[in-house]
Each structure stands twice: as C-alpha cells, then as structure tokens.
Structure 1
Amino acid sequence: MTLAEIARLAGVGRAAVSNWRRRHPTFPLPVAGTDARPQFSLPEVREWLSAEGRLPEEPQPLDLLWPEYEALGSREAMGALVARIGLRLSGAGPAREEGLPPLNQAASDLLKRTLDTADAQALEGVFEQLLERWLRTHVRQVAATPEPLARLMHTVAVTVRGASVPRSVFDPACGTGMLLLAALGDATDGGSPAVVLGQDNDAVLAALTRARLALATASRTNQPDIRIAWGDSLRSNEFPTAQADMVLSNPPWNERDWGDAELATDARWVYGQPPRTESELAWVQHIISALSPDGVGVVLLPPAVASRRAGRRIRTALLQNGVLRAVVALPPGTTAPFGVGLHVWVLRSATSADSDASDPRVVLVDAARDLPTVPGGGVPWDALTDAVRRALRGEDVAGVVRVPVVELLDGEVDLTPARHVPDDTATTAADLKHGWTGFGRLLGDVSEAFDFLSTLAVSDERDQAWADIGELELADALTLKAGQALPEASLLRGDSPEGGIPVLVGRHFVDVPRLWVPAQLVRQGREDDSLTVTANGDVVVSALARAFDVQVETAAPAVLGPHMVAIRANPALLDPWFLAGCLHSAANARQAGTHSSTSSRVDVRKLRVPRLPLHEQQRLGDVHRRISDFDRHLDDLRASGRELRQALGELLFAGRLSTK
C-alpha cells in the first residue's frame, strides 16, 4: 500500500499518515517502492492502525482487495478486470468479453477472489463500487458523463419527444454507459426501451457499459435487447440501419484525426461535409442519421461549435431543414472541463411532423441565469433541470427566447444563447445612485487614511538592532507552524456556508474559486495534528517568493494550505501587527529568499524584526494596522470604480445617459 492508500483506509488525509510515520517509531517500515513512493504491507498497516485505534471501522472486503487492482498498473488492465467482474456477476458468458485483453495469473486470481467476495444480494452494488473507484483513479484519462447531467439530458429528450416510451435508444459514443442507464431508468415492465444500442471506440469502456446495463436490468421481467459494440462509430458504424427514437450522446471533442478524408463521400453528410476542425458536426450528422422519423437527439457539445466560422454552412443547413430545434447553454461545472459552460443541442429528424413550417423557430436557453447558489460552488441540478424542462415546454422562464430561423441566418449563424437572450439585468437609476453613494463612502475612508498617514515623519536614524524569526522562536517569543497540502477530495469550492472553514492559499490568501473544508474535518485535523488551524492574532505568511504576502488573522479559524506559515507571537514580548508590518517588507523578503529551484521560497526563519520595546512595537503596530486599512480601502475603491465604469458603459451603449 502507498501512503495515499493508507490514508483512504484510515479515512484521513495523506498529511496525517506522513505525520504518523514521522512521529511514531512503531509505524510499519516500507517493504517495496522507492524513497519518494514507499509501499507498505497491508496486514502490517491494518495491525498498526487497529492497535492505535485509528481504523474507523472494519474494512469492507473490497477495500482490502482494491490495492491489488491498483497493483495491476495500467488503466486498461484495471478496467478490463472490473468489466469482467460485472459481466460475470450479470451472468453473461465469456463471449460478451470481446475486445478485452487477456488476463494474467494475478488478474485471474483477483477475479476469482472478487467473485467469491461479492454478495449475491448486491451484485450491482459490488460492480458499481469497483467502477467508481476505477473512474476516480483514472479521472484524467476517462471522461465519464456525471449522473445528474445524464438525467438532465434524458429529461430534455423526454420533454421534447413527449410522454410516449421510446422503442429504442442509442448512444454512438457510450463511454461507461451513464446516458443509456439514464434512459433505462428504474422503469417497470413496459416503461423502458425495448432496444438499447451503444458503441464506443474503447473496448474496455464498451465492456463496462455492457456489464453495467446487464446488471441494471437483470431483475426486469421483460429484458431489453442490449447491444453494445466496440469500434469507431464514425469510421466503422456497427449500427448503420439504426432508427432510434432517442439518441443521447456526449461524443469526443476537438478531434483532428476523425477520418474526414476517408469519409469525404459518406452518405451521412446530408447537411454538408464537416471540415477537419469540426469533428463535433460530424457527430451531429451521425446522430441525425440514426434518428427515427419521430426521434429526438440530445448531444453535449463545447460552446465553440455554436459559432465557429468553419461550421457556419452546416449550421445554416441544420436550421433551414428544421433539424436543430434548441440550444441549451449550461452553467460551468456540469462536467469536465468544469470551467466551461457547455451546450446541449436538441435535434429532430428532418421528416418530423411536430415543426411549424409556417414560422420555424429555434429555442435558445441560457440556463445559467437565476440559478440558486449551492454551498461549495456546486451545480443546483434540480433547479437547473426544472428550468430547462419548463423552458422547452414553452413556459415563461428567465433566459429563454424563441428566435425565428430567418433571424439566425446572418453572416455568422451564431447559435450561442447568451448572444440572443435579452439582458434582464439592466442598470437602473437607483442602481447607479447606490453605486455612487458607496464610492463616495470609500473615498471618505481613503481620505481619512490619507490625513493620518501623510503626516507621518521620516527619521534619519539608521542604527538598528535586529533579530531573526529563528532567534525569536528559540527565545520563545513566537511559535511557527507550516500549512499542509490537503486531500483534493476534502476541498470544497465557492463561498463557505455556516460551519465551513476557509482554506488560505496563494497570493492575498484567496484562491479562485475560494476553498473551504467542513468543520468536522478541521476538528479531526486538530486532534491528529494533521492540519494547521489559525487563531485570531496569528501572523500568516505566504512563503512562495512569487506570491509572498503577510496578514494578521482577524477572522479565525482558517486552515493553512501548502507554502503557508502561521506565526503565533507571545503577546508579552511581541505585538503581532508590528511583526506583520516588519515581515511584509519586500526588502526583508528578498534577503530571506531561497533560489535553489524554480519555485523559490522565502525562508520565514531568516526574516528580520527590529529589536524594540513592547510599547514602541504597539505604537508602530497601530501604524501598520492603519496602512493595512488603507490598502483594503484602495482595493474596495478600485472594485467599486470598476462596477461604476461597467454600469456607465452599459447605460451609454443603451443610449440612456444624458447631460444636464
């Protein structure tokens, strides 16, 4: 086991395990690996954790087997074994394992022991646990559609198509099968598709989908006909005659080698041959070709597809033929890449009878508008799904517009919803007056700071005795404690709710998005000394040279991330505001800097402080407090000024400004 695996077994962060190893001489010694990545014996680790009372509960059998899965090494080897587990548990024979690499002896033994471990009453749960761990381990290599997004896309298809149950559902780039699983749902007999088709270019992913769907439908009386093929859907379409009532897909994006040359004369390109840079429009036309006359296709695409110049001709043809019915712009965070708001395109067959030929329109939905805030910065899936459903039903929802096709057929054919949805956040006269009032108040704060700071005199005295932070630490005038890297799974993003503890990282101690951790994790970190938690009056230093900064903590508690240091001054000997003011000096940081690597740091112990009596420290500390207030007022004034500038610009653009 690695240190990370020990941390997962014990339910703590990796930093806590490193601390145990350093502080406890009885901690097991490495049995393999390297100095940088040591590996430990699982029985020895379990024995030590149990003896120390750090094993939260009796590990589940799969917890003990998983390190052996990771020892298989590659993504393909691990995924193939997980797929075989699912297929065997579903009762499928070896013939369903086509395309998978052969098993070696270790994998065969692990397969047998996993099947022996599986509870006959929870076969699907065993497979889903293994699949979830495999996806988490290889999150950068496998882009799986999140379950809430799959449900949303299925809801879109049902809303557009109507209440009738689709006879068949198809995903030509099925991945791990989440979209097909959403289409199957938990429907009773007669309420789910009779035929389920899927294809993926990755044999392991195709096998995982096959197993997943087989287990999900194992208890149904009327078994659907599930056919999952392995191969490239564009180059080698295994279902050329498919006429699906519902097609759901999250195809690959930004591909350059998708076969544009060899498929130049393909019959699927009814709306124009896709350029090499427009692989997404090749998938769109592939999906359209697989629709039944009353079928609906829902496809997830990057936002650039709606406006790229190279795809303008195809977008024009899709609009003119009534094939593209809606574009839904989702908020960022729905799936990877999480910083981009993706688009959902809704497609119908050109022969569909539900279009209004006399006044064809396209529904454009900016679904990111007016969504409630979720603690941690997540996506409010229920509210988002409900808003999209209502928008597609024609209800009055913010951020929706039905645009006549003729208005979209200009020189750009830009289908980005935000470019067409009216702005409902226009600045009012009251907003502008409120903005000027706040700006004036901040000007007063800056003026008050100016009145004090501009009167400070400068002494010519240069003789000064100094003390290093290291010397003061030895003299018990202060204590130092460094921050640690926190497990990625523990970090939550966005404004922290009540009970959330902020994490201080980076320049000015702010990360974008903001980071926080639950209070329960902080309590545990205090107990096992795996976290550095601040108190009011601590001087916090960001020690990376390129992001050096200092502040006095006034809103404790907070958790310190890597390259952060908390200095707790002895109030009988040191004033924290005076200390922070001295440490904040750029000249002080330069002389304490280390340049042994590209990520140079400031050695906090080498920072210097003048030797002054406490009453003089307190006088200068009050000056630094005022300087800090001045800095904060300037930042607030700058932000308020930018908001006013934006509001004035918007009013000017709208022709709503006048001079008296």
Structure 2
Amino acid sequence: MAEQDVPVTLTLAGIGRLANVGRAAVSNWRRRHDDFPAPVGGTDSSPQFSLPDIEDWLRRHGKVDDSVSGWNWLWPKVEDLGDWERMGLVLAAVGSELTGVRPEGREQAGLAALTVDERALVREARTLAAEDQGSNGFGLLRHRWLAVQNRQVAALPQPLADTMAALAAALRDGEPVERVLDPTCGVGLLLEAAARKWRECGSLQLTGVEADPVLALLTRVGLAVAAPAARATVLCADALLTAPPLPAPVDVVLCNPPAEAPGWSATELAADSRWRYGLPAQGDPELAWVQHILSALNTTGVAVVLLTPSVASRRSGRRIRASLLRAGAIHGLIALPAGAASPYGVGLHLWLLRAPGSRTPESPVLFVDAADCRHTSSGGQSVVDWDRLRERALAAVRGDAVTRAAQVPRAQLLAEDADLTPTRQLAWEPPATQVDLGRSWAVLDQAMLRVRDGMPSLRSLRALDDVAAAESPRVTVAELERLGALTVTPGAPLPPGELRRGFRPADAIEVLLLRHPRHGQEEVPWLDSGEAARLDSAGLVPLTAFGDIIVSSYAAEHEVLVEMHAPRALGAGLFRLRTDPEQLDPFYLASCLRLSSNAWRAGSHARASARLNVRRMRVVQRSLMEQRELGQMYRQIAEFREAAAAFGAAAAQVDEVLGALLGDGRLQRGS
C-alpha cells in the first residue's frame, strides 16, 4: 500500500496545543496575519489546516521554538489516523519499540496488520527516541490519545487512582503489599498508581487482566516505563467470562470495572464457584465483578473498587449485598463528587472490600460522603478538590472523627433492604435547639436594624424624567481608557501549584475568582504574599487597590463592585478598572457599569456562557462634582443592598431552624 498524499491536518485547538496557547489566540492570529495558512478542509466553524503549513508559519513567526518536543509534532500525525483502535495500535507499536516489550499471543496480530503509513509513524518515533528525547514521548502520546478517546477507553484521573491506592494501603494498616491485581486494567493506570504507592517494595508483583489486546500491550509498555523494577504480568483475557488463573491470591485489588458487560451471561456462568454470595442478575454485572474480586484476595486481602451509585441500592442486587454484609466483606463506601471519573455526570462510589473472615461480621460499615469536596479553579470552573477528598477518606478509614462520615451497624443495614447509599446512612446536622432559635432571631434583628437605618436616606431620593436621562451624553469605557481616565486590566489564571486553600495566614492575599466577586466561596483561595507580589510585578496576575472597580466577564453572572478589601488577586474572567480620581469617581463608574442594559449591550449573546466586552460598556458623562454626588448615592444604595441581602440570609436561617424544630415535633406556642 503506497503512502497517502493527503496532508495531515490540524484543528484550531490542535494548533493551540502545539503553540501552548488557547483556541481563541489561534483565531486572533488568523484575523491579524494575512499570511496565516488557508484551511484545507473542515467547515467554517471547524476549519482544518495542513500540518506542514502550520509548522512553517509558527516557526517563521516565532510562535514556537526548538523547546517544542518532536513528540508534539508527531502527535497530530497519529491523531490524523482518526480511528481510535488504529491510533492505539500505533501507540502500542511505539511503546514496544521504545521499551523492548514484545507483543504476545493476540497482541501480535494487531501489530502485524499495521499499514505502511502507520509503520512510518513508528519509525519516526524510533528516530525521536534515538535523538535522546527519551521514552517519556510514549507517555505524552498516550496522554493525548486518552484525552481524545475518553468515550472508548475509560481512563481514571491520576489523583483518583492514587487515592484508591492510598485507601488500600490504609485498609492494610501497615501490612506489607507484594501482589496487586487489576482484573480489568484498561491501559494500566491503577497498576501504575500501585507501583507509585508501593515502589519501596522490592518484590512487588503487578498483575493485570485485559480483554482488548491493544490495551493489554499498552499496559505492559506503560508498566515498563513507570515501574521498571516491578514484576508485571498482563493477561490478555476476559476476567469475568474466563477467570484466567492467577499465580497466587493477591494482597490488593484496585479495579474500575465496566458498568456494562456485553458478553456477560448469568445463565452460562450460573454454576461458577465465584458466586458465593448469590448469582448476579443479568443486569448486575458489577456485583459479578465484586464477587470475582473477592475470590482473588488472600485471607488478609483488601480491594478498592469504583462502581456506579445504582449498585448500592438496586433492588435486584439486595440479596447479594445482604450476603456480603453478613460475611463481613464490605468495609465501607465513599461517595465521590460528580465529575471525579467517567461517567462524569454522576457521583460514583468507592467500595472498600475485605476478604471474608478478615474481620468480625459484626463490625460496623463505614460510610463517607465526599460529594461536597469541590472548589472553584482559577479559571472559574467547579472542580474536584482531590486533596480534601483524600484527607477526609483516609481519616475516616483510620477511624478519626470526620464530618459527613459514620459507622453504621450491619444489622441496621440488613433491616433496610441492604441499601448502601452513603448519603442515606449519614445523619444530617445535629437537631436544632432553643439556643439555635434564639441566635437566629438575634441575627435577624440586627439585619433588620441595618435595613431600617438605610431606608430614610434612600426614601428621600426622587426620579428624574426619562427625557432628561436620555439626552445625557455617553462615552464608552474604551474611550475613557484612551483619554487616560482609567486603565483596564484583565485577571489571569493562577499558575499551577500557587493557589492555596484551607487555613489562610494573616498576611496571605485572597484570590477573587469568577464565581467569587462578591459573595465569596465555601473555601476562599489565597496566595502567599511574596508570591502574589512577584506575580503582580511580572504582570502575570494583577492585584487590586482600594477603589478599583472589579467586573465579571460573564453576561449571565454580571457583577460589579468597588474594591474595599484590597489587596486581592484577580483570577481569569474578572477585570480591574482603575480610575484617575481627578477625572472619574469610582463609585459613580460602578453605578453606570452595573446597569443590566450595559451588560446586554456589551455581551455577545452567542451562547449561554457569553462573555462581556468591558470596553463596550457606556458611562454617562458628568462633571466630577456631579459624579461624586451620585457616587455617594451609589454607596448608600450598595450598603442598603448588602443589608437587604444579609436580612434575606438571616430570614432563611430562621425559617430553616423553625422548620427543623417543627418537623421533629419540638415546636410549641409560647404562653
């Protein structure tokens, strides 16, 4: 077969990955540079460009340099194959070349079927490795492949894989670990996490089982790179259907079994000896995996298994769950936040299992709800807080007092249809008391007083007629910036590793994120003061000063405030407007920018997450004396708004306490 003449193509996002910029930056290059290569395919909304043309343009314009690894240029050629399985075969062949791991059995057939073009990619990878680029190139290619093939190949985030290994170590309670198994290992990420956790063990034996020969070879290659000192065995088989024999029972099983098993047949395997706790129903393959895992453990073995939440409560599995409880096989369950792993729309569960007989059947079952372990990233997105999740889960396994965790007697669980959903087993907040009721009324009275104090001065204000307001001349923020009346500075994403959470020292610099311009977050992020000063002086992350105006860039969450608690660092999605007080009053400017009509005029409205163009916002032109008078009115309005919001929050708290007391039947009318 001759090599194809069709050029390798890139999308805008692919070009951004090569140049280490975002898709928007590449779009700006297209608009600003007449010599930017023309698309060779795709559509208007998703154009495709020739890789050689793009490489030449990026180098000529200094957008990339020699620090960009040759592996980065190789990846678009691999991705251009299109088919995830063909891409996986090329990666497996590359890994085999770099590590010397030879394909075995069914793995050989796939590599023998590589096309001429695919073999050329393998030779290019071999050349890169010979140039001392190192076998780390395989890791880069595998990472990119998993990122674009996440629907076909389930890849656990490394923090979750490491957390599962840490939990297994905590369950072992200091006992040595020599044998680790993953019976459905995919590309071996859990086995690599085990290698990191127990790397000091000189006799560590890692065993993986994977039905797909390409993934099996990728696992062996990955382990050769990540854990060259460990003894690794990867069996190419379907662990659930064929149950290949293991060298010996294992100390630890880490597993993320598929929620669906197309080849699973309860009828064909009805007489299998693994079903000690009951024959799983056809729709319960995950409980078949649980029993298969327990059959692989030695007498002191433990397992950490990632399962969908329905397994804990599905009626068809209640008899098996009850049998597992009676045998003492279930140590506990941990509810994870949605987004921790695929499928990302639901909160998955970690099942902590023990070999039956390793503890008394009367021991309680541990339940931990970690679904609230989230925080807002520097880009304004809600993401999993892996550090807090890991700390809570490990502390609960150690037996420490932990919020949202409980030990529940097995007898109680058996009396409740063996429903193991963590949130249903945890007690909510302590019952409300008369002290809570009195405290909530006191807070409401204080908030009401603030509202009453602010009302007289505002009641005296009168509205002008519409004609007078409409005739007032207006100027945009961009024009004010050109006149030197203000400067506009965008916030920026925080460098990885610099954003801190938890206990905040007195001199730390608070960080404002997109969802945190006014009301704060559950846990306020911060920067070290010295690091914040360095980032500000380098122009990487701006700091605020008293009187700055902070504007959020999302039209749907339009918010404007005058900075009263400086200095603070601004994250991505926020803007700092700093005025010249001899030309522009900041409080007056905030009153103009806060208008909803301004947000509508400055927004793109192309999608739900439309951004605002701050420089398009308009301000009514007035003399400095008029600005200061109106600015003082705005301060009074802002204080009243905050007082009203505090009153609403206090009223909601009173409502919550009264409702809790009434629901418990502990409320009566006073005499």
Indicate if the aligned counterparts of 2:373 and 2:386 stay in contact, CA closer than 8 A: no
**Does 1:252 pair with 2:222?**
no
The correspondence of residues 13-412 of structure 1 with structure 2, limited to 5 A, is: 13-19=22-28, 22-23=31-32, 28-30=36-38, 32-33=40-41, 36-37=46-47, 39=49, 41=53, 43-45=55-57, 47-48=59-60, 50=62, 58-95=67-104, 97-98=107-108, 100=110, 102-118=113-129, 125-139=136-150, 142-160=153-171, 168-185=179-196, 187=199, 191-193=203-205, 196-200=207-211, 202-219=212-229, 223-224=231-232, 226-231=233-238, 233-234=239-240, 236-237=241-242, 239=244, 244-245=249-250, 246-253=252-259, 255=260, 259=264, 265=270, 267=272, 268-275=274-281, 277-292=283-298, 295-330=301-336, 334-336=340-342, 342-349=348-355, 352-356=356-360, 360-366=362-368, 368=370, 388=393, 391-392=396-397, 401-412=406-417
The CA deviation at 1:174 is 0.9
Give, in whole Å, the separation in 2 of the partners of 1:521 and 1:275: 61
The CA deviation at 1:177 is 0.9
Residues 370 and 304 (structure 1), Cα distance of their counterparts in 2 relative to 1, 3 Å cut: closer
Task: State the one-letter code of the partner of 1:47.
Answer: R
The CA deviation at 1:110 is 2.0
Give, in whole Å, the separation in 2 of the partners of 1:155 and 1:328: 14
Give, in whole Å, the separation in 1 of the partners of 2:28 and 2:491: 11
Residues 172 and 481 (structure 1), Cα distance of their counterparts in 2 relative to 1, 3 Å cut: same
The CA deviation at 1:393 is 5.6
What is the RMSD computed on CA atoms of the aligned residues? 5.0
The CA deviation at 1:309 is 3.5
Match of 1:413 in 2: 418
Give, in whole Å, the separation in 1 of the partners of 2:653 and 2:315: 33
Residues 382 and 594 (structure 1), Cα distance of their counterparts in 2 relative to 1, 3 Å cut: closer
Match of 1:617 in 2: 627
**Does 1:451 pair with 2:437?**
no
Q: Secondary structure at the match of 1:47?
A: helix
Q: Secondary structure at the match of 2:650?
A: helix
Give, in whole Å, the separation in 1 of the partners of 2:572 and 2:181: 49
Per-residue CA deviations over 1:328-385 (Å, capped at 9, x if unaligned) read: 4456665456686543223345xx443335xx22331426499999997877767765
Give, in whole Å, the separation in 1 of the partners of 2:181 and 2:488: 57
Give, in whole Å, the separation in 2 of the partners of 1:570 and 1:655: 61
Residues 610 and 128 (structure 1), Cα distance of their counterparts in 2 relative to 1, 3 Å cut: closer
Residues 630 and 118 (structure 1), Cα distance of their counterparts in 2 relative to 1, 3 Å cut: same
Of 558, 561, 564, which aligns to 2:570? 558
Give, in whole Å, the separation in 1 of the partners of 2:522 and 2:170: 36
The CA deviation at 1:469 is 4.1
Q: Secondary structure at the match of 2:90?
A: helix
Q: Secondary structure at the match of 2:317?
A: helix
The CA deviation at 1:37 is 3.4
Unaligned runs of at least 5 residues, structure 2: 1-9
The CA deviation at 1:327 is 2.5
TM-score (norm 2): 0.76
Residues 93 and 391 (structure 1), Cα distance of their counterparts in 2 relative to 1, 3 Å cut: same
The CA deviation at 1:249 is 0.7
Q: Which moved more, 1:587-596 or 1:11-20?
A: 587-596
Give, in whole Å, the separation in 1 of the partners of 2:394 and 2:521: 34
Unaligned runs of at least 5 residues, structure 1: none
Per-residue CA deviations over 1:535-591 (Å, capped at 9, x if unaligned) read: 7544736573x5555545666653553xx8877767566544334434544567678
The CA deviation at 1:256 is 8.1
Indicate if the aligned counterparts of 1:328 and 1:417 stay in contact, CA closer than 8 A: yes
Task: State the one-letter code of the partner of 1:364.
Answer: L
Indicate if the aligned counterparts of 2:330 and 2:365 stay in contact, CA closer than 8 A: no
Indicate if the aligned counterparts of 1:210 and 1:228 stay in contact, CA closer than 8 A: no
Amino-acid identity (%):
34
Residues 598 and 414 (structure 1), Cα distance of their counterparts in 2 relative to 1, 3 Å cut: closer
Of 648, 665, 668, which aligns to 1:638? 648
The CA deviation at 1:175 is 1.8
Per-residue CA deviations over 1:438-457 (Å, capped at 9, x if unaligned) read: 43332222222212112222
Give, in whole Å, the separation in 1 of the partners of 2:544 and 2:451: 29
Give, in whole Å, the separation in 2 of the partners of 1:542 and 1:382: 29
